[in-house]
A and B are shown apart, each in its own frame.
Chain A
Amino acid sequence: MLKYLIVMLDRASVPFCHHEPAEKNEGLISAADLKNAIRFGMKENLVIQFVYPDRAIPAELENIIETIDHVKIKPYPSGKDDVLVADIGAIPQKAENETLVIRASIQELAEKVSEVENAIYRFKRVNIILKEPDSISEEDAGAYKLFLDRLTYYIAGQTASGKELPQFNLLTDRILLDKMNNCGAGDESITIAPDGKMYVCPAFYYDGDAPVEWDKEEGLQLPNAQLYRLDHAPICRACDAFQCHRCVWLNRRRTLEVNTPGHTQCILSHHERNASRNLLGRLREAGIAATLKDIPELDYLDPFEIVK
């Protein structure tokens, strides 16, 4: 069931997920398409998220946006309630936002651990999104594990010193989840692009996919819509890396199937899951988090190995 509507205000809207930013080919959404998008969101009772480009948009569009409750996803500068998106090399020192999305490659994460350590305690919530996911190798996965492992000691140490446990998507989400909490593109969320048409997510729009139709009676007219749901994803259904994005776009790039993850995505998500388990153990050693559910030990990094 749809819950979220993402509205891209510009072809060059800030990339807040795995896809790369658009080339200089800018193109604002029209006022009419924006109004239609808002009307659709209202009718379907969806949480609307507007994705801004790195430039001012006309007052006419801003006025239309302010007619509805929403969340803004923006590059710097942005306000307290907005989701701030920044590249790891350009995290602003001065930002009022509570939520920060950091886009980084694994190599950048390995080189800039201190920037992440600082950000985790400057913002209420930090989400890290890996860019260039196509080029991630087995060697990168090792560097990613090291990055996560050293952060578990850092967060455990800071928490033991009296600081509040931060909200950090790669390490603390899994500790608090007891079921899958994934992106849900094509199932729980849908995107309206600057051309006024509907797509599974911004990445599908940039890939040049055909738009998706909406039927008042039957809902989203997505071919094989069931494949976007967890109950039709046999590998993911057997998995307990609950924090995984389960990115259907990445799945399709890796395996040509939206419901089948590639090996690398599973390995990375399991490093996150296992590091979360280690963090939980260290918090417990410090007398914290005693009431949270255990995360069991696994002897695999890819749930493909356990699917019959």
Chain B
Amino acid sequence: MSASACAPGPAVKRVRPLSLASKQAMFAYAIIFPTLAILLVFRFLPMLQAFYLSLTQYDLVHPPKFIGFANFVDLVQDPLFLKSARVSLTYVLFSVVPVLPLSLGLAVLFNRSLWLKNLLRSAIFMPVVMPAVVMAVVWTFMYQQDGVINTILGWLGIDPIAWLRSSASALWAVILIGIWRATPYYMIIFLAGLQAIPADYYDAAKMDGAGRWASFWNITLPLLKPTTLLVVVMNVIVAMKVFAVPLIMTGGGPGDATRVLPLFIYQTAFEFFDMGRAAAMSVFLFVGVMLFSFIQVRLFTRGEELR
């Protein structure tokens, strides 16, 4: 700034360099402290406790009883748990894989000048805005035997589907909602990724006589690789955590057709009050989420040296 203001600055620093630096460090510690405290108490502590609880038998009434790895041994032999894990895996796989081409395709379509572009983009974005519980209620209504979806299918000559009432279709009905909600979300992320690709690359490719497809395969896709990886990872994590929609729409049924892992954990803990077993299930879920989150965190911090 002005010379007079600048002059005493370094002088003061030279006289008491430590105290000023440590004053600033104190401030830095102070402002990060509330964040650390909350995260330690409400994230890390529960995780540690989950590991401990998973080794116990605990019903909220009697004190926890240490039973070693019995919960885990039980779980891997429990057909209900294995079924739940399978349902979760199916949900994850089939709600993640279609979203990838759908959201990328939409993003590519939107990545050009277009009449009413903003309006259309906002319209397609709307599912992200609908609360999960509302979504569950509205889709349950649409999935009724004589509801709007079966009516529309009827126009196409397709017989009515029992959707939520049949264990063969219930999971697919839930997956469809997941896709409806996730696609616009990742479309936005892909769109941001697409817009970050310099137009020069495409111009240069055009000069070399490359067509639309060629530039898509040789420029767009390779440059979108980090974004694609991130979309997959985020989507897998979100899909592993799905809870409200199956709980409200089917309660995990019919039978156990839609009992995803978080729902089973919830029921084990808060309907059957088997906290130890629920914690052991959480550990399984944690391992799954952690694998993918780890990639996400690595993507977020790539090229950075963490000091």
**Do A and B originate from a single complex?**
no
